[in-house]
């Protein structure tokens, strides 16, 4: 075993949804630094352009493709454009997610469930299916689903988000079991409270923040790099015998 290349992603092509900021951007940074050709996806091209410029300034190969993965046709276009540029796909990171409401579940308006499921569950499912024939051709293909500790123990105010992320864990295990025959590895990461704009409702509220800190064995909130490092492990040869696994990165919150 060549330990010098254990975490290398040299010349592999990776797609990262929700890649213009936060966890997705950090994963893109780590993958590109490890040698991957990275496609970041998001809804707005201007945000992607800023992210791409930042990473290219460090000498990395990164492309931004704007499509709303909540819609079936735009999911297809994302894969088609990636293949047009690179002719292959080795890694898929299903990171994009929505949580449009922070409220008790009985206060959710009609239509919110559909929006959450479309992005948080249907998109990872269909993107994985669209990548299937290309991942089969890779010598070390990997799908990484970014779930949440809310999938394991839901928090008040994030009910439907937690439901969608729990379903994503089940989907991860189903794909891992069925696609192992094709040497496609499928794993999930469950971040805790990571200090990003996405989770601001959790860490910016003093009462909620204090509750979290009281229950954290490691007395700090997480950062994007904590998740990116685990994603790099799951994308690389270092995890070549790992599939169907669920990793928490939450400072011990879910213990």
| Residues taking part in catalysis | 161
Alpha helices in the chain (DSSP H): 22-33, 45-56, 72-86, 112-117, 123-135, 159-179, 200-203, 206-214, 224-235
Query: Whole-angstrom Cα distance, residue 156 to residue 15?
Result: 32
Query: Whole-angstrom Cα distance, residue 47 to residue 128?
Result: 24
Tell me the CA distances in angstroms from 142 to 9, 25, 69, 149, 238, one per residue in order.
Answer: 11, 18, 19, 21, 12
CB atoms within 10 A of CB 233: 19
- Could you tell me if 216 and 253 are in contact, meaning their C-beta atoms sit under 8 angstroms apart? yes
């Amino acid at each position: 075993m060549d330990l010098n290349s254990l975490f290398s992603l040299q010349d592999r092509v990776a797609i990262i949804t929700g890649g213009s900021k936060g966890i997705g951007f950090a994963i893109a940074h780590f993958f590109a630094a490890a040698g991957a050709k990275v496609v970041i996806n998001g809804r707005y091209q201007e945000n992607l352009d800023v992210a791409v410029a930042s990473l290219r300034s460090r000498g990395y190969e990164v492309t931004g493709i704007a499509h709303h993965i909540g819609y079936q046709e735009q999911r297809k276009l994302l894969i088609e454009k990636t293949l047009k540029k690179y002719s292959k796909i080795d890694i898929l990171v299903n990171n994009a997610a929505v949580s449009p409401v922070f409220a008790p579940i009985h206060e959710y308006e009609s239509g919110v469930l559909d929006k959450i499921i479309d992005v948080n569950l249907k998109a990872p499912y269909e993107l994985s299916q669209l990548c299937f024939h290309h991942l089969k051709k890779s010598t070390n293909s990997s799908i990484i689903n970014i779930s949440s500790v809310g999938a394991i123990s839901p928090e008040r105010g994030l009910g439907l988000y937690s439901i969608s992320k729990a379903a994503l864990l089940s989907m991860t295990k189903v794909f891992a079991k069925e696609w192992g025959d094709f040497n496609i590895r499928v794993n999930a990461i469950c971040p805790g409270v990571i200090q990003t704009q996405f989770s601001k409702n959790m860490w910016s509220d003093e009462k909620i923040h204090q509750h979290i800190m009281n229950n954290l064995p490691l007395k700090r909130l997480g950062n994007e790099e904590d998740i990116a490092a685990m994603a790099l492990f799951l994308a690389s040869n270092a995890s070549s015998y790992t599939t169907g696994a669920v990793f928490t990165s939450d400072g011990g919150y879910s213990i």
